[in-house]
Structure 1
Amino acid sequence: MLPSHLPRPLRLALYSLATAILLYLCLAPSKNLPKINLWDKEEHALAWLVLTATGLILSPQRPRAIALYAFGLGVFVELAQWAMGFGRDADWHDVAADSLGIAVAFLGYFMVVSGASLARRRR
């Protein structure tokens, strides 16, 4: 069974879990987070690529909603980091990195969709 064929409440719960994990990683005090040897912008791009790809796998019929949600979440995270005093810094370059991750996920998504469509036409 494809993930997109799971019951909608389950798909929403899974995507909510992915969002909650991402929010924790972005908003928790930096001293409580594991140290990863990546540049901060790489971490953002990778995190938003995973979030967007997860959304597209769970709900491929709603690509615009997934993109808008992921972008909005990136903006929200930076505003929350700016407002909070947990040693996190708001940086609009992070939103650009988030957007790059979203774009890469969509590039992969459209390549898969185009390939599947082409394969169906050949049959």
Structure 2
Amino acid sequence: MKSGGARPDAGLRWAGRVLFLTTALLITDLALQPGLPTPPVIFGPDKIEHLLAFFVLTVLARMGWPWRGWLMSGILVCYGVGIELVQGTAAIGRSASAADVAADLIGIGLGLIFANLFRQARPG
């Protein structure tokens, strides 16, 4: 059944895409700011920031590209690893952390679970 009108969720998808790209740019800027030399901490408060940032990015990615869940998740994993690799360079003055990548992965996983639960709970 074809219809001539726009899909009812088209505005929501575009909002998700714009918010995703805006959030990714903001996170990139914050992650690449020069930092003070601090020793890496496995369970520091920055892990919560990583988890929440990647949770939000995953939910926005699922909102903007609902049929590309695994592809977008893979892109987010590469994005998180890439940020850590850049932070490990001397030019940024920060340190790379495997614990940060682990927090990113947990955020992505929780974001996928949340988005899928939300999709199943939606009427229609």
User: Per the shorter chain, which TM-score range?
Assistant: 0.7 to 0.9
Q: Between Structure 1 and Structure 2, which shows a larger proportion of helix residues?
A: 1
Determine the C-alpha separation between the residues in 1 that align with 2:116 and 2:91: 40
Q: Equivalent pairs: percent with the same residue? A: 28
8 Å CA contact 2:17, 2:63 repeated in 1 = no
Are 1:18 and 2:27 counterparts?
Answer: no
Determine the C-alpha separation between the residues in 1 that align with 2:35 and 2:20: 24
Are 1:52 and 2:65 counterparts?
Answer: no
> Where in structure 2 are the equivalents of 1:78-117 lying within 5 Å?
78-116=84-122
Determine the C-alpha separation between the residues in 2 that align with 1:13 and 1:60: 14
**1:4-39, Cα deviation, whole Å (9 max, x unpaired):** 1x3xxx8655433221111111111126xxxxxx70
Are 1:29 and 2:34 counterparts?
Answer: yes
The number of equivalent residue pairs is: 108
Question: Which one of the candidate residues 75, 85, 93 is aligned to 2:81?
Answer: 75
Please list every run of 5 or more consecutive structure 2 residues that lacks an aligned counterpart in the other structure. 1-8, 37-43
Taking structure 1 as the reference length, what is the TM-score of the superposition? 0.76
**Over the residues paired in the alignment, what is the CA RMSD in angstroms?**
2.1
Taking structure 2 as the reference length, what is the TM-score of the superposition? 0.76
Matched AA of 1:108: F
